[in-house]
Chains A and B, each alone.
Chain A
Amino acid sequence: MRETYQVQKEDFANAGKVSSHIKTTLKQLGVEPALLRRIAIAVYEAEINMVIHSDGGAITMEIDEGSIRFTFADQGPGIADIEAAMQPGYSTANEAAREFGFGAGMGLPNIQRNSDSFDIQSSPAGTILNLSYEVNP
């Protein structure tokens, strides 16, 4: 199974919709609750990051017998300092985002903590974040 969802830049009102949909889909597929919670947090944070920081992009979910994988690919402008962005509390969120309660600087740390495998690559052309989870058959 493979599904792709589009995420728009600075669409704060709809931020979280893709994560909610993914959570509902995985719940229907019978993913166990503890794993579902971890996925929900990671996917939500990654979706929000895309809304706040990127020029928009796409989220792809792939499911097979042994794993659930996500790719978050945006159109830039990239993360200037990934090492800093991985530190809890570091944020470059703007005022508009902060008014919505975003910008805690916990996004990437929360994602890493709530994924089995975490890989992030970034350049001005875009950021690609890959997450995967093992699923017991």
Chain B
Amino acid sequence: MRLSELIEKSGFTLKNNLYDKEVEGVFAGDLLSWVMGHSLPGQAWISIQVHLNVVAVALLREFSCLIIAQDAIIPSEMIDKANEEQLTILASHLPVFETAKKLVELGF
């Protein structure tokens, strides 16, 4: 599913520029090394971590987007960095589990 379609169907909020990549699955986690070691390129990453290192991990792991759950506050430098690196950030009001459930409903 394209990211643009995911946004439309999920109701998640687009927090920066849209870089419309193919979303090839979903990974949820907050421990960065754990995420690095177990996720796959192309996945959407659900996390509540909000700092620049999250953007670095998302880029190195080649995630299709970052989904920040439960309204965790995203600092402006994170938005700026994500735009610079062409990484889309979405925000979900829902907790991590319900955010993941929403994506399951969409067919992931």
Contact = CB atoms under 8 A, between A and B. Distances in A.
Is the A/B pair a real complex? yes
Interface of A: 12-17, 19-20, 23, 37, 40-41, 44-45, 48, 100-107, 109-110, 113
Interface of B: 30-34, 36-37, 41, 47, 49, 51-54, 56-57, 59-62, 85
A15 B32 CA distance: 12
A101 B54 contact: yes
Chain A facing B: main interface SS: helix
Contacts of A104: 31-34, 37
Contact of B60 (A13, A44, A100, A102): A44
B33 A20 contact: no
The residue among B31, B32, B41 with the most chain A CB atoms within 10 A of its own CB is B32
A15 B33 contact: no
Nearest to B30: A101
A20 B49 contact: no
A110 B33 contact: yes
B36 A103 contact: no
Given A17-B56, A19-B56, A23-B60, A102 B37 contact: no
24 contacts: A13-B52, A14-B52, A15-B53, A15-B56, A16-B52, A19-B56, A20-B85, A23-B59, A37-B61, A40-B61, A41-B60, A44-B36, A44-B56, A48-B33, A100-B32, A100-B49, A101-B31, A101-B53, A102-B32, A104-B31, A104-B33, A107-B33, A110-B36, A113-B37
Nearest to B52: A13
Nearest to A93: B33
